[in-house]
Amino acid sequence: MNGNEKSKMYHCWLDYQLHKKQSKEWIYGNQIYCAEDLLKEGVIQSAIDELKLFFLQHFDLSMDVVTKRPVQAHIALDVAETYGLKEGAYEMVAEDNQLLIHADSCNGILYGAFGLIQVIKRQIPVQGLKIKEEPINKIRMINHWDNSDGSIERGYAGKSIFYHNNEIIQDMGRIKDYARLLASVGINSICINNVNVHHYETQFITDIYLKDIARIAKVFETYGIRLFLSVNFAAPISLDHLENADPLNTEVREWWRKTAEHIYKVIPNLGGFLVKADSENRPGPFTYGRTHAEGANMLADAVRAYGGLVIWRCFVYNCHVDWRDRTTDRARAAYDHFIDLDGQFNDNVILQIKNGPMDFQIREPLSPLFGGLKNTNQILEFQITQEYTGQQKHICFLVPMWKECLDFDTYAKGENSRIKDIVSGNLFGNKETGIAGVVNIGDSECWSGNPMAAANLYGFGRLCWNPHLSSKEIADEWISLTLGSDKKVREVVSKILLTSRKTYEDYTVPLGIGWMVNVGHHYGPNIEGYEYSPWGTYHYADYKGIGVDRTMETGTGYVRQYLEPNRSLYENIKTCPEELLLFFHHVAYDYELKDGRTLLQYIYDVHFEGVEQVSSYQKAWKSLNGSIDQDFYNAVNEGLEIQLKDAKEWRDVVNTYFYRKTGIRDSKNRKIYE
């Protein structure tokens, strides 16, 4: 990227144009000092390029790079192991007429450069500045579900930026800009192909694609990001016609060893493999009567010599069961499959666990594998792309939901055994831990389809770096970096973002029931729509009540997977958090909630209230016309028109369904289509 040929929406929070006049008093000169030997490091050069671009665009100031330390330098970059900072951490100090950024690693300098830029853009005083920043999580990862034909599974922002017609895109310009965005929020790992590995993607580990993938890896490497590849567990069969892919078969193990050896010759800095196995018709070790530990460890042995990791997804369930059997419970699957394997995985294997036991719903409890697994490396998986949350047509700021997950107390080692402390490695002492997110970008002009959805990508990165940040702090950062410091803009956009998750939940699927979306594409209301359930509703709604009984006493027993006191909390309908009531209990429509409303009246009310909230967003947004970039304004305004229309459809379809199911009218006599 050079200059301003792209729109403000394209630059996202890295728009360096001056929004408002800022003080230049603290600018001590026009020099960046860096030791000559450091200039050979690609990450250091990226940091310098970023600073030069920023000062040129923001202050119209050309910066010179000097390798002999002057008496007074504007900015001095210094890397030395003596600082005692962890990988990626940096300190920034403004004193003696210079600004020093120092770290123990090149990555720390890069993050420090972005940190300085963000301090200036947010109009935080530089004089007297003293900041120490260090990442809480070791692995801060983005997962792409991009296919080689250019399509993106669960993608709502255009086509892939990596692939087109089963070929690697040759122009690395946009990929470099993407690496800049990710590095600016501290992302240090990326997997660039779909976990559902199809025919062409299986060949990514062969010479057909490896050299081009190496070019992509190099771009990310210069921004401190290690590249991973999703691999097909049955690759030995599909690529070299081995008789099987049994992880204990000597021939299979040797095949993977030689394959890894060749891959690492081409891509020395490859992070390793990401694997989805034995779920949704993907091949895996179950075919051969082997465990997930045996399958993962076989791959881990192949990449160990190169410092490689194997990230093994825990999204494993039987999608062909008969859901009419009420003892069947998909929510139980991940725990049932993995809990007895705790401690059996190699130390370079990481289990990637979805935040909830189902599938990225707007509201579900937290996976009991967190707290259940104590002797296994773990990565928490979030979904940034809005598969079940409006598909980036609707504004739905997901940071509050992610915060609830990170702050959840598992009680694994007594009170305050929070998920954020498990995935940071602090609670159990696991070494390879962190957070991964299924990303929401494509080749749309604003990257995310709707420019407001970029707040989710930004927020994800910030929570990976520091899960102690509040939702409001993250929202305010993104707004000021993206839209400037205008007080009214900040107030309006912050209110929309911070209330949008609850609003979406209200007009779609409240109380933790989930789903109710059209089969396949997962957009729009279909009250009885659920994949793999041709026999009828997943939520067991009848004329008396709705919800899934997951109790130990009368239900599927899923509640047993939680540690006390969460187990008893969820088991008892009176103590179960009402936002999760229908996830854990089958509840009569006339059941009285804590506020005195019946369950059914609550369903009616919140669907009307959700629509009213979206309408208020639309009015508030219109008040910003002329105060922000016009393209940004227009794109969000169009999205809100879609969101309001869709919210009304959800309201009418859901309320009509339950009125017809029960014959019970809305106590407020509002119009419900019969």
pLDDT digits (tens, 9 = 90+) for 496-537: 999 999 999 999 999 999 999 999 999 999 998 877 655 556
Stretch 29-41: mean pLDDT: 94
Q: Is the pLDDT of residue 1 over 60?
A: no
pTM above 0.95, yes or no: yes
**Are 457 and 478 within 8 A, CB to CB?**
no
What local confidence, expressed as pLDDT, does residue 672 receive? 84
Confidence of residue 22 (pLDDT cuts 50, 70, 90): confident
**Catalytic residue flag (residue 133):** no
CA distance 120 to 239: 52
Token digits of residue 307:
């410092």
Chain position carrying tokens 């296994």: 376
**Are 621 and 372 within 8 A, CB to CB?**
no
Stretch 233-237: mean pLDDT: 97
In eight-state DSSP terms, residue 273 is E
**Are 647 and 396 within 8 A, CB to CB?**
no
- ∠ CA(596), CA(600), CA(602), 5° rounding? 55
CA distance 43 to 36: 14
- Catalytic annotation, pick one of 41, 246, 301, 359: 359
DSSP-derived pairing of the beta strands 272-275 and 309-313: parallel
Q: Is the pLDDT of residue 172 over 70?
A: yes
DSSP-derived pairing of the beta strands 167-168 and 545-546: unpaired
Encoded amino acid at 246, one letter: D
- Map out the domains of the chain with their CATH numbers: 8-133 (3.30.379.10), 139-469 (3.20.20.80), 507-548+586-662 (3.90.1330.10)
**What backbone torsions phi and psi does residue 600 show, to the nearest 5 degrees?**
-65, -40
- Catalytic annotation, pick one of 49, 87, 134, 280: 280
Stretch 337-363: mean pLDDT: 97
**Catalytic residue flag (residue 609):** no
What is the residue-wise DSSP string for 110-157? HHHHHHHHHHHHTT---TT-EEEE--S-SEEEEE--B-TTS-BTT--S
Q: Is the pLDDT of residue 189 over 70?
A: yes
Residues paired with 598 in a beta bridge:
592
Token digits of residue 464:
């990976």
For residue 10, give the nearest of 555, 448, 507 by alpha carbon.
448
Q: For residue 634, give every residue at least 6 positions away whose Cβ sits within 8 Å of its Cβ, in sequence order, or none.
A: none
- Across the chain, mean pLDDT equals 94
**Are 585 and 576 within 8 A, CB to CB?**
yes
**Are 361 and 398 within 8 A, CB to CB?**
no
Q: For residue 162, give every residue at least 6 positions away whose Cβ sits within 8 Å of its Cβ, in sequence order, or none.
A: 144, 146, 168, 169, 175, 192, 193, 216
Burial of 574 (0-12, 13-18, 19+ CB in 10 A): exposed
**Are 368 and 335 within 8 A, CB to CB?**
yes
Q: Is the pLDDT of residue 354 over 90?
A: yes
Note the pLDDT tens digit of each residue in 383-438: 999 999 999 999 999 999 999 999 999 999 999 999 999 999 999 999 999 999 99
Report in angstroms the alpha-carbon separations of 73 from 301, 439, 509: 49, 39, 57
What is the residue-wise DSSP string for 189-240? EEE-S-SS--HHHHGGGSTTTHHHHHHHHHHHHTTT-EEEEE--TTHHHHHH
Q: What percent of the chain has pLDDT over 70?
A: 96
**Catalytic residue flag (residue 445):** no
CA distance 603 to 667: 12
What local confidence, expressed as pLDDT, does residue 2 receive? 41
**Are 310 and 273 within 8 A, CB to CB?**
yes
Note the pLDDT tens digit of each residue in 69-124: 877 778 999 998 878 899 999 999 998 888 999 999 999 999 999 999 999 999 99
Q: Where are the alpha helices (DSSP H) in 538-598?
A: 566-571, 581-584
